[in-house]
Amino acid sequence: MSTEGSAVDTLTIEEAAAELERLAKEIAHHDALYHGRDRPEISDADYDALKRRNDALEVRFPELIREDSPSRRVGAAPSVTFSPVVHARPMLSLDNTFSQEDVQDFVASVYRFLGRLPDQSIAFTAEPKIDGLSMSIRYENGRLVTAATRGDGTTGENVTANIRTIAEIPNELPKGVPAVVEIRGEVYMAKSDFLALNRQMEAEGKQTYVNPRNTAAGSLRQLDAKVTASRKLKFFAYAWGEISEMPADTQFGMVQTFKDWGFPVNPLMKRLNSVADILAHYDEIGLERPDLDYDIDGVVYKVDSLELQARLGFRSRSPRWATAHKFPAEQAFTEVEKIEIQVGRTGALTPVARLKPITVGGVVVTNATLHNEDYIKGIGNSGERIRPEDHDIREGDTVIVQRAGDVIPQILDVVMEKRLADARSYEFPKTCPVCGSHAVREVNEKTGKMDSVRRCTGGFICRAQATEHLKHFVSRNAFDIEGLGSKQIDFFFEHEDASLQIRTAPEIFTLEKRQQQSLTKLENIDGFGKVSVGKLYTAINERRSIALHRFIYALGIRHVGETTAKLLARSYGTYEAFATAMKEAAPLSGDAWNDLNAIEGIGEVVARAMVEFYKEPRNVEVITRLLEEVTPQQAEQPVTTGSPVAGKTVVFTGSLEKFTRDEAKARAESLGAKVAGSVSKKTDIVVAGPGAGSKLDKARELGVQTMDEDEWLALISG
Ligand code: IVH
């Protein structure tokens, strides 16, 4: 089940890893839509919520930070149509803050970093965060030479010809400006121009744009600069890149200089001296927001003194001297037209509210997840009340919808005054709406608590579970069969002809052979064709040999996500060894059971789920047929002998200078060590870089061996 609504501190490591994986994919998907194709599917608030969730998970489980983590990237890589421009100085991102406390923390951290006392006042600037596209415009000897988008922060796209069409951006600067000047700021489209453009698009029968930001992006990415010219783009200057001679020594002074040079600057920028003043300005800008002719999504605070900015410096992606205080997620009222139940791969019955379409934060919302029957009643995951008792969600209710904290919009509350007289409490089905089997809430043997999720007990006979199972089997981190998506699975599942039917995974691999002997040809069916059928068979055949962890993950065992599958593959090495161990572990005692539970990262719930899975004859039968078609490869075994750290548990802490955390982890693991995120009695070695804090203290307290990076390097190379 998805864990996305659960509090971060209630998640197991497997759940967190699975969620981080999902978030990495999801955020990358939205990045691509946002930066590459200018057609986002979610609001910025939602996007921020995803990133925040990712950050929170990474703070709690630093050992799970992925290679492809969204926290390591700024924006998306540039698209291909424009030539690349390497920025003279990287274009960084801003950290986000969401509450007054966050802002207080930010200001306090600036004081702390600089070793200042609160009475040695530090001035900040506060200005709107413009929701457009950042641009770096380079002038040499007063003439515009290149303009580039941010791209991935290091390399952007060369959009010089297009930027030259923007009337507000000078092509030439006044005499006496520094020889090299890079002005940075935001290109945007005015709300009024956006509305006018959409009216025109509609009149011409063309597809309308989603919001001003994406329209501005789309308008800039035109290969034909004439189109850009017709779009009335605008600009605010607020920062700089390379500059050969500094014309001012404060943020405020720099922006005033840009104004003198002929650039538009935002009139709401202020220089302020206290947190109270900063927050008051935030409120003021918030009040003006609806009346501004451009979209803003927050207020940016920057340390005013450039000398202090230089001392504060940067973290990996963002300056320590600035933060973006975002406006809260938008909410709206709408009606619940219907409550429907979806059945997932593991049989979970998930209620979904079908809403009367409503625009929230610039995006049309038609569905909201209701998670489970308790949520509908207003009861949270730990049995706590999340809404007053009579505020259960009913069909026909008017509700407050929020797009934030989740990709999927949330229903926050019910507007009781609007409840219809004949509205009836939603009766959660006790049987599966797809197959009619009993749907039950399991009781956790250990805690005695009832699971919040009701599950269909139909297993393989349930069409929903079976198709979801197949969809999981072919999904990207499992068998990854191109050309076999959700639609195709439904098609093959439903097909009555035996040569075309796929009801279990092995049948994917017998499809080609069955087709050769059949007269009902797939290539003659609408939507397939000779070429795509050929490609499909190739894609299927390419997977006849598959990595063991993918094979295990693809089986769809409950609680076994990609990370667990990798652990299992690494621990058992071959499928035979794994399957034998699972069968031998059936009594939930004995060596096989103990070995399984001893694997770091595998808890009892997961272990039980695996044993249960292998107790089901039907599962074993399907796997036996699958193994006639597919060969799982032997997993690579890490070197565990002859290494001085083999079998040791190592914790890395502090800011590592000789290697990145990932490098350190990968290297240690390849030498047979286990890398943990926190120090305990089981820890053997703590490697501490500069700035190490509580983990180092704890290690000393527990008498765990500690060393610095050099000592560690000496140890592992010795
Ligand atoms: S300052 C080193 N000021 O927000 C930081 N950025 O999330 C330089 N943005 O990439 C950026 N309004 O596209 C700054 N008044 C403002 C801004 C602003 C919008 C954008 C900009 C930046 C992003 C960071």
CATH number at residue 579: 1.10.150.20
Task: Quote the mean pLDDT of the chain.
Answer: 89
Q: Considering its fold, how many domains does the chain have in total?
A: 4
- What was the pLDDT predicted at 38? 61
Give the residue whose CA is nearest to atom 6 of ligand 1.
129
Which atom of ligand 1 is closest in space to residue 314's alpha carbon? 2
Q: Rounded mean pLDDT of 78-97?
A: 83
Catalytic, 232? Answer no
Of the candidate ranges 283-287, 580-584, 595-599, the one whose mean pLDDT is the lowest: 595-599
- Report if pTM > 0.75: no
Of the candidate ranges 191-205, 631-645, 679-693, the one whose mean pLDDT is the lowest: 631-645
Give the residue whose CA is nearest to atom 21 of ligand 1.
134
Which atom of ligand 1 is closest in space to residue 91's alpha carbon? 2
Residue 137: pLDDT above 80? Answer: yes
Given pLDDT bands bounded at 50, 70 and 90, which one contains residue 69? confident
Residue 328: pLDDT above 70? Answer: yes
- What was the pLDDT predicted at 236? 98
Most ligand 1 atoms within 8 A of CB, residue of 268, 300, 315 to mutate: 300
Residue 40 counted as domain residue: no
Length of the chain: 718
Residue 36: pLDDT above 60? Answer: no
Closest residue by Cα to residue 44 from 31, 25, 59, 57: 31
Residue 361 counted as domain residue: no
- What was the pLDDT predicted at 494? 95
User: Residues near ligand 1 with C-beta < 6 Å?
Assistant: 92-94, 127, 129-130, 134, 150, 186, 238-239, 300, 319, 322, 324
Which atom of ligand 1 is closest in space to residue 129's alpha carbon? 12
Most ligand 1 atoms within 8 A of CB, residue of 87, 130, 259, 314 to mutate: 130
Q: Rounded mean pLDDT of 147-157?
A: 91
Structure token pair of residue 210: 């989603």
Residues 591, 603 within the same domain: yes
Residue 256 counted as domain residue: yes
Most ligand 1 atoms within 8 A of CB, residue of 35, 124, 129 to mutate: 129
- What was the pLDDT predicted at 406? 33
Q: Rounded mean pLDDT of 610-619?
A: 94
* Buried-exposed string 479-517: b where 16+ CB fall within 10 A, e elsewhere: bebebbeeebbebbbebeeebbebbbbbbbbebbebbee
In angstroms, what is the span from residue 94 Cα to ligand 1's centroid?
6
Given pLDDT bands bounded at 50, 70 and 90, which one contains residue 408? low
Which atom of ligand 1 is closest in space to residue 318's alpha carbon? 2
Residues 121, 257 within the same domain: yes
Task: Give percent above pLDDT 90 in the chain.
Answer: 59
Residues 505, 575 within the same domain: no
Which of 491, 507, 542 is at the close of a domain? 542
Given pLDDT bands bounded at 50, 70 and 90, which one contains residue 670? confident
Closest residue by Cα to residue 109 from 319, 300, 305: 319
- Please give the annotated binding residues, written as ranges: 44-48, 93-94, 127, 150, 186, 302, 326, 432, 435, 462
Give the residue whose CA is nearest to atom 16 of ligand 1.
129
Residues 566, 595 within the same domain: yes
Residue 1: pLDDT above 60? Answer: no
Q: Rounded mean pLDDT of 672-678?
A: 80
Q: Is the dihedral of CA 570, 573, 578, 581 positive or negative?
A: negative
Whole-number Å distance between alpha carbons of 540 and 666: 32
Beta carbons within 8 Å of 538's beta carbon, 6+ residues apart: none
Q: Rounded mean pLDDT of 560-572?
A: 89
In angstroms, what is the span from residue 147 Cα to ligand 1's centroid?
16
- Annotated catalytic residue within 129, 232, 648, 695: 129
- What was the pLDDT predicted at 74? 57
Give the residue whose CA is nearest to atom 17 of ligand 1.
129
In angstroms, what is the span from residue 68 Cα to ligand 1's centroid?
23
Residues 504, 570 within the same domain: no
Give the residue whose CA is nearest to atom 23 of ligand 1.
93
Which of 573, 601, 632 is at the close of a domain? 632
- More confident of the two residues 605 and 555: 555
Of the candidate ranges 56-60, 417-421, 429-433, the one whose mean pLDDT is the lowest: 56-60
| CA terminus-to-terminus distance, the chain | 46
In angstroms, what is the span from residue 413 Cα to ligand 1's centroid?
34
Task: Give percent above pLDDT 70 in the chain.
Answer: 94
In angstroms, what is the span from residue 301 Cα to ligand 1's centroid?
10
- More confident of the two residues 9 and 291: 291
CA angle 632, 638, 641 (to 5 degrees): 135
In angstroms, what is the span from residue 287 Cα to ligand 1's centroid?
21
Residue 479: pLDDT above 50? Answer: yes
CATH for 158: 3.30.470.30
- What was the pLDDT predicted at 122? 96
Given pLDDT bands bounded at 50, 70 and 90, which one contains residue 319? very high
- What was the pLDDT predicted at 646? 84
In angstroms, what is the span from residue 153 Cα to ligand 1's centroid?
12
Residues 699, 566 within the same domain: no
Residues 116, 188 within the same domain: yes
Which of 521, 542, 563 is at the close of a domain? 542
Give the residue whose CA is nearest to atom 15 of ligand 1.
129
Residue 14 counted as domain residue: no
Residue 305 counted as domain residue: yes
Residues 240, 105 within the same domain: yes
Residue 273: pLDDT above 90? Answer: yes
Beta carbons within 8 Å of 93's beta carbon, 6+ residues apart: 74, 75, 153, 317, 318
Residue 505: pLDDT above 80? Answer: yes
Which atom of ligand 1 is closest in space to residue 92's alpha carbon? 2
Residue 26 counted as domain residue: no
Residue 26: pLDDT above 90? Answer: no
Residue-number span of the structural domain to which 693 is assigned: 649-717
In angstroms, what is the span from residue 165 Cα to ligand 1's centroid?
22
Residues 571, 612 within the same domain: yes
Residues 608, 695 within the same domain: no
Closest residue by Cα to residue 131 from 183, 175, 194, 181: 194
- Please give the annotated binding residues for NAD(+), written as ranges: 44-48, 93-94, 127, 150, 186, 302, 326
**345: left (phi > 0), else alpha (psi -120 to 50), else beta?**
alpha
Give the residue whose CA is nearest to atom 1 of ligand 1.
239
Complete DSSP assignment for 351-416: EEEEEEEEEETTEEEEEEE--SHHHHHTB-TTS-BSS-TT----TT-EEEEE--SSSS-EEEEE-G
List the 410-414 sheet strands across, edge first.
Answer: 363-369, 349-360, 331-343, 398-402, 410-414
Of the candidate ranges 221-230, 330-339, 505-514, 623-632, the one whose mean pLDDT is the lowest: 221-230
Residue 411: pLDDT above 60? Answer: yes
Residue 268 counted as domain residue: yes
Residues 617, 673 within the same domain: no
Residue 425: pLDDT above 90? Answer: yes
Residues 622, 510 within the same domain: no
Which atom of ligand 1 is closest in space to residue 75's alpha carbon? 10
Residue 639: pLDDT above 60? Answer: no
Residue 79: pLDDT above 50? Answer: no
Residue 21 counted as domain residue: no
Give the residue whose CA is nearest to atom 10 of ligand 1.
93
- What was the pLDDT predicted at 80? 45
Q: Rounded mean pLDDT of 155-167?
A: 93
Which atom of ligand 1 is closest in space to residue 127's alpha carbon? 15
Residues 136, 140, 146, 150: what is their CA dihedral angle, to the nearest 10 degrees? Answer: -20
- More confident of the two residues 341 and 482: 341
Give the residue whose CA is nearest to atom 12 of ligand 1.
129
Which atom of ligand 1 is closest in space to residue 134's alpha carbon? 13
In angstroms, what is the span from residue 183 Cα to ligand 1's centroid?
13
- What was the pLDDT predicted at 407? 47
Q: What is the phi/psi pair of residue 611, to 5°?
A: -60, -45
- Please give the annotated binding residues for Zn(2+), written as ranges: 432, 435, 462
CA angle 565, 542, 548 (to 5 degrees): 20
Q: Report whether 368 contacts 356 (CB < 8 A).
A: no
- What was the pLDDT predicted at 685? 94
- What was the pLDDT predicted at 432? 97
Residue 76: pLDDT above 70? Answer: no
Given pLDDT bands bounded at 50, 70 and 90, which one contains residue 178? very high
CATH for 698: 3.40.50.10190
Q: Rounded mean pLDDT of 100-107?
A: 96
Closest residue by Cα to residue 591 from 600, 582, 602: 582
H-only helix segments in 521-616 = 529-541, 548-554, 562-572, 575-584, 590-598, 604-615
Question: pLDDT digits over 293-306, tens only?
Answer: 998 989 999 999 99
In angstroms, what is the span from residue 56 Cα to ligand 1's centroid?
23
Q: Where are the beta strands (DSSP E) in 250-328?
A: 270-272, 296-303, 322-326
Give the residue whose CA is nearest to atom 18 of ligand 1.
129
Residue 220: pLDDT above 60? Answer: yes
